[in-house]
Every structure is written in C-alpha cells, then in structure tokens.
Structure 1
Amino acid sequence: MSKVKYYYDSETLSYRKIENKKGRKLGIIVLSILGMILSGFMLLLIYINLPYIETPKEKELKRELTNMTLQYDLLNKKMDHAAAVLHELEDRDNNLYRVYFEANPIPEEQRKAGFGGINRYRDLEGYDNSKLIISSSKRLDILTKQIVVQSKSLDEIAVLAEEKEKLLAAIPAIQPVNNEDLTRMASGYGFRTDPFTKARKMHWGMDFTAPRGTPVYASGDGKVTRADNTASGYGNHIRIDHGYGYQSLYAHLYKYNVRAGQHVKRGDLIGFVGSTGRSEAPHLHYEIFKDNQRINPINFYYGNLSPDEFTNMLRASQQENQSLD
C-alpha cells in the first residue's frame, strides 16, 4: 500500500493530501530515460575520442618526437654534404694522388661496402620511427667506414710521398762539374775513338774537360761505396750508391774529399778533377748505372742546366770524336 503524502496549505492553515497525477509520473520516467540515453551517448563520444585526447605528458612526448624527426632530417642532410665532400676526395685520391705515386686505385666496391652478417640494428626495430632511425644509422656507419678507408689511403699516400721525395733527392740530377769550371764537354756516351789504341769502341760515360783540381760534386743523395784506385783504368775514382737501383761513378780524380761508407747529399764536394789511371788529360769521366746497367748520363742533368745549356751539351755529346780515356 502506497504512502499517502500531505502538504501544508498556508491559505487554509491545514494539511491537504497530495494527489498523484499520472502524466507527471510518466514525464519523470521519460526524462529519466532521456537522461540515461544522453549520458550513454556522451560516454560513447568520450570513448570514441579518447585516443585523440592528449594529456600534457603526451603533448610533451609528441613535441620531442617531432623534434627528433627534424634532427634526423638535419643529420641526413649533413651526411649528404659529408658524402659529397668525401666522394670528391676519393676521386682525387684514385685519379690524382695514387696515379702520381704509382699506387693502385681503391676499388669502388671496397669503398662502398656495407656490413654483412648479423642484424646490427635489431635494437632499433619496433618503434614508430624505426625506419628513419635504422636508415640514418646505416648511412652513418657506411660513411664512417668510407672515412676510415680514405684515412688509411692517405696514410699510404703520405708514406709514398716521403719515398718519392727520397727518390727525387737520390736520383743523379745535376752536372758533377760546374759549367763555369769546364774547358769543354770532351766526349759523350756512345762509340768513340780510343785515345790509346785509336780503335772505335764503346765509351760508357761522359768526359768533362776541366783543369786539375776543379771541384767535383755528388749528383744525388747516397752512400759512398768506393773511394780508391783499384779498378782498372779509372785511377782515383768514387762510386756512390743512390738507392732505388741508381749508382754514379766519378773517375780519374786528383784526390778525394770523401771516404767509403760516408753519406753525401746532392751538391756535396766529393773530389777534384785529375788525370789518374787510363787518362790522356785532366778531365772527369762520369758514369750512371741503373740496376747495374750503364745508361746515358745525358738524361740526368735536369737539376741545374737551362734548356739552352742542355741543348748545347746534347749537341756536343753526340759528336763521335776521340774520348780522353
């Protein structure tokens, strides 16, 4: 049995019974149902849009992610620039430096080789930007390897350059007697008339006519291997081993200014012109050896002769006259 409710009527100063109206009760039920439907719809909207609702922490992480992506883009641009500079250096290395120093070029596949075997980037997988991170890491590793290869190549070039410098200093490259001290260039390399037998025979060096006591200079850096008069026909003579297969010989000297075992530099005073041994008059007989074979010394005066002086000497050396030894 439902409870009877009353209310106080201030006009009649009495309690009156509250009458329940059917329409009002129905309205309350309808409003309740509409409220529940509206609440459910609101909750549904919130649920659907929940992934798009960012907390302050999520916004901060998103900004960091955007900044990281930007930094990787900048890093890739820097790597592009570094790769372009390195490519130019590699091109000069293969086509200039290594060609000049007679070294084999480094193959392109060796310079551009990647890294085989195990997956080096497994720890970088599974993230939103894994592809970008792995790609950048691979490029950086390959670029680093290319730099290491190029660095080793330049180390090799530095060694070759040092050897080349030693070679250029060692090669006999100057005239052993100064032009102002010469009376004349008496005889060159080739077949000449022997001054004693008058027979035509091979003259293995060049004869520089000069007064007795004229200074004789080392034509290249090297070590004096002989300074004696025990070789047949040469009289007092000096031999210098320049290394790299080169030797020079200075014969018919008046006296020495060096001893066997002594190291000399190009232009050092080593002796004085004389006429000892099988010699007809004071002069310097000069020979050049390459790999123990005598070669024409005329090709080894680029260090101190002008083009005109070399032309005059070449012309004189080609005359088939009588030698002085």
Structure 2
Amino acid sequence: MAKKVKYFYNSNTLKYEKVELSLKKKALRVLGYLATVTVFSVVTVTIAYNVIDSPKEKKLKREIEQLSLQYDILRKRIKQLDAVVTDLQERDNNIYRVIFESEPITSDEWQTGFAGIHHYKALESSNYSALMIETTRKLDELAKKMFIQSKSYDFLVKEVKNKDKMLASVPAIQPVSNRDLTRMASGYGYRIHPIYKTRKFHAGMDFTSQTGTPIYATGDGVVTTAGIERGYGNEVVINHGYGYSTLYGHMSKIATRVGQRVKRGEVIGYVGNTGASTGPHLHYEVHKGGKPVNPINYYFNDLSPAEYEKMLELSSRNNQSFD
C-alpha cells in the first residue's frame, strides 16, 4: 500500500505544496508512539501478572494446598492423641491413684520440662515458621505427657506388686454379671425417687435383673450387715478394709452371715424386690472413707474401655431410680 502524501495550499505561491515534517516533529511523533506502546505494555503485563498464574505459580499453589491438607490431617491426629492421653491422665489421678491411695500428679508436674519459645528459634527462618513452630510445640507437649504417663504407670506397677492383698479387697467387679442384666436402671447422682416423686441423691447404681439372679461380692472382706434394713429390705454390707465398704440392697434372699469372710466373686445373695423398691433389682453402693463414691469407677476387672463407655452412657440415661 502506497504511503499517503499530504499537501497544503500555499497562498503565497498559489500552489499545492507537499507537507514536509521537520526533524523535531518527526522525533516527537516517534517518541509519542513509543510512549503509547510502553504504557500499553506495562498495563498489559501488570494485568497478566496479577490475574493469570504462571506455570511455576500454579505448581507452587498446588504444593501449598497439599501441605495445608496434610497439616490439617496431622493437627487432627495430634488432637485425637492428646485426647487419649488426657483420658489416661484422668483415669490415673481419679481411679488408679485413688485406689492405691497415692498423691495425684499435679497440673504443674504435667507441664514440667515443656520447651520455651527460645527452643523454636531455629524454625523462625522458615517460610512457614508459625505453622512449624505450632506443630513442633504440640508434638513436644504430647511426647512429654506420654513420658510422664509412662513413668506414672511404672510407679503403679510397683504399687500393684506391693499391694496384692489390697487389690483383692478393693471393689473391682460388677455385683451382677453382664449376662444376667436386663438393663442398667439408674446411675449415681440426683434422680427422681420412684415412690415419693422428689429429686433425691442416688448414692449407688441400680441393676435390673430377674428375681433370684446371683449377687457377687465385689472384693474380699468381712460381712458387717446381713439382714432386713429400712428402705433397702434384705441388705448386705461388706467391709473390705483400706477405707472401702460396699452395700447390696433389695435382695430376695441373703446367702451370707455377719462376721463371715468372703472372697471377690463369691455369691452373697440373690436379686429381689424387698424394701422400698418398684421392681426386681439390686441397689449397689461403694463407700470410700465412709462416703459414697460412684461405683462405675470400680468395674475395671470386668469392663473393657468400650464397655465402660457404654455403661457410663446407660447409667446416666435414666433420670429415675428404682428405690
């Protein structure tokens, strides 16, 4: 395509003459074109950089997403393990150490030796320092708790070896066999009295079963009560020593006598409906130091962890006792 030539009318010569641009105008025009191209290029590149990811950026984003997913899984796993260790701590302090009359591990002792912020200074230079420091600290705390718990169990093993007689005496089984249970009627705590319809503290657990079902002594001891008592009808009380005693109420028949020494698992009577009762069941109490405690913490010879959780659920479900 031929380049267009521009003309202008010269009034002095009365002729059309060719338009000739000066060197300065040509230079300005070229600079104008260059400036426009430059601005357009900068705008285009800026938009592309902020909106469109490069292959390298896409790869990095995928890696970050994978790392975030793995971290979430790791964090959940750490949380689950921490919950397990916490449950072990509670059982250690509130059950095992109570049984052996040992001092519980204090919260300060659980925290002993946890690393301070300076321990993680080497991780601060990482691109993901906050994430790495948080995860490392949680793992350190979990490892320390597990170490202390391991030492605690070593201590308890020694206590077991030194207290065989005590272990045989402490209530540690259900007074009625699982295979003979109809259902768990009521647990320890405040319940509605079935006769008086008032809210009353229920100091034991009720096990419903057929009349005549065997009732077992839950630990070695000496029978201190074996007869008719107000409210509980045919009742047996066993003194196990070490501050422990157990009560068995509403029996249809008593199979022991005052002063008799009994062994854990020995039949001491049979389920009935005597006394202030609204159906055949056994009312069972555990006393420590003369005060009632929750019997559910004293079935550890009988129940697996899963069975223990099920028993706990059943015992708290019914808001009304049978006596």
Q: TM-score normalized by structure 1?
A: 0.50
Residue in 2 that maps onto 1:308 = 306
Residue in 2 that maps onto 1:273 = 271
- 1:102, 1:206 → 2: CA distance? 26
Residue in 2 that maps onto 1:228 = 227
Cα contact 1:101–1:164 (8 A) shared by 2: no
Q: TM-score normalized by structure 2?
A: 0.50
Matches within 5 A, 1:92-107: none
- 2:247, 2:208 → 1: CA distance? 16
Cα contact 2:160–2:167 (8 A) shared by 1: no
Cα distance, 1:204–1:161 mapped onto 2, change above 3 Å: closer
Cα contact 1:185–1:209 (8 A) shared by 2: yes
The answer on 1:195 being equivalent to 2:194 is: yes
Residue by residue over 1:53-82, the C-alpha shift from the partner in whole angstroms, topping out at 9 and shown as x without a partner, is xxxxxxxxxxxxxxxxxxxxxxxxxxxxxx
The answer on 1:289 being equivalent to 2:319 is: no
Cα distance, 1:102–1:237 mapped onto 2, change above 3 Å: closer
Residue by residue over 1:67-110, the C-alpha shift from the partner in whole angstroms, topping out at 9 and shown as x without a partner, is xxxxxxxxxxxxxxxxxxxxxxxxxxxxxxxxx9969xxxxxxx
**Structure 1 residue 202, shift from structure 2 partner:** 0.6
Unaligned stretches of 5+ in structure 2? 1-99, 104-158
**Structure 1 residue 318, shift from structure 2 partner:** 1.5
Matches within 5 A, 1:92-241: 164-229=163-228, 231-241=229-239
**Dislocated runs of 4+, deviation >3 Å:** 100-103, 160-163
Residue by residue over 1:120-173, the C-alpha shift from the partner in whole angstroms, topping out at 9 and shown as x without a partner, is xxxxxxxxxxxxxxxxxxxxxxxxxxxxxxxxxxxxxxxx87761111110000
Cα distance, 1:279–1:102 mapped onto 2, change above 3 Å: closer
Residue in 2 that maps onto 1:8 = none
3-state SS, counterpart of residue 171 of structure 2 = coil
- 1:280, 1:295 → 2: CA distance? 24
3-state SS, counterpart of residue 317 of structure 2 = coil
Residue by residue over 1:31-50, the C-alpha shift from the partner in whole angstroms, topping out at 9 and shown as x without a partner, is xxxxxxxxxxxxxxxxxxxx
Unaligned stretches of 5+ in structure 1? 1-99, 104-159
Residue by residue over 1:289-319, the C-alpha shift from the partner in whole angstroms, topping out at 9 and shown as x without a partner, is 0110011101000011122221111001122
Cα distance, 1:172–1:161 mapped onto 2, change above 3 Å: closer
Percent identity of equivalent pairs:
56
> Pairwise CA RMSD of aligned residues?
2.1
Cα contact 2:273–2:281 (8 A) shared by 1: yes
**Structure 1 residue 277, shift from structure 2 partner:** 0.3
- 1:289, 1:176 → 2: CA distance? 15
Cα contact 1:191–1:320 (8 A) shared by 2: no
**Structure 1 residue 241, shift from structure 2 partner:** 0.2
Cα contact 1:273–1:282 (8 A) shared by 2: yes
Equivalent AA in structure 1 for residue 190 of structure 2: F
- 1:283, 1:272 → 2: CA distance? 10
- 2:276, 2:101 → 1: CA distance? 43
Cα distance, 1:101–1:271 mapped onto 2, change above 3 Å: closer
Cα contact 2:224–2:237 (8 A) shared by 1: yes
Cα distance, 1:319–1:163 mapped onto 2, change above 3 Å: same
Query: Greater Rg, structure 1 or structure 2?
Result: 1
- 1:236, 1:322 → 2: CA distance? 22
